[in-house]
């Protein structure tokens, strides 16, 4: 059974700091892994998607890596800003379109 774990559950950092969010999964047979951002009362906004055959994806200040063999993914945020404050969720998609989410990391960037 696939389980997705995100560490830390919450994180508070000063503005400008680089940070890493971690996601681990128990079954390496995945289709893809997606990182989302969720603001309070809103849906999920897709940040980066890494296919199972890929190692990393980059978008602006964000970089996500995937190591299937160890069941890990990291989301790196460079030069954090207060506007980055949100909950970050990782989700793995396996066969049959089943998507399993982690519980999320709540990020607060202090101005």
By the criterion CB under 8 A, which residues form the site for another protein? 31-32, 34, 36, 41-46, 49, 51-52, 89, 91, 93, 97-104
Round to the nearest angstrom and report the end-to-end CA distance of the chain.
41
Token pair, residue 57, equals 């994806």
State whether residue 48 is helix, strand or coil.
Answer: strand
Distance of CA 19 to the CA centre of its chain: 12
State whether residue 62 is helix, strand or coil.
Answer: strand
Task: Please name every residue paired with 94 in a beta bridge, in sequence order, or none if there are none.
Answer: none
The whole-angstrom separation of Cα 50 and Cα 57 is 6
């Amino acid at each position: 059974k696939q389980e997705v774990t995100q560490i830390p559950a919450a994180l508070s950092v000063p503005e400008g700091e680089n940070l890493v969010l971690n996601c681990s999964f128990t079954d390496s047979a995945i289709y893809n892994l997606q990182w989302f951002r969720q603001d309070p009362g809103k849906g999920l906004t897709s940040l980066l998607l890494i296919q199972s055959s890929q190692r990393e994806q980059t978008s602006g200040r964000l970089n996500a890596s995937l190591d299937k063999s160890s069941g890990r993914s990291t989301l790196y945020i460079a030069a954090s800003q207060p506007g980055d404050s949100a909950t970050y969720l990782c989700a793995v998609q396996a066969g049959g379109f089943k998507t399993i989410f982690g519980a999320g990391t709540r990020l607060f960037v202090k101005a």
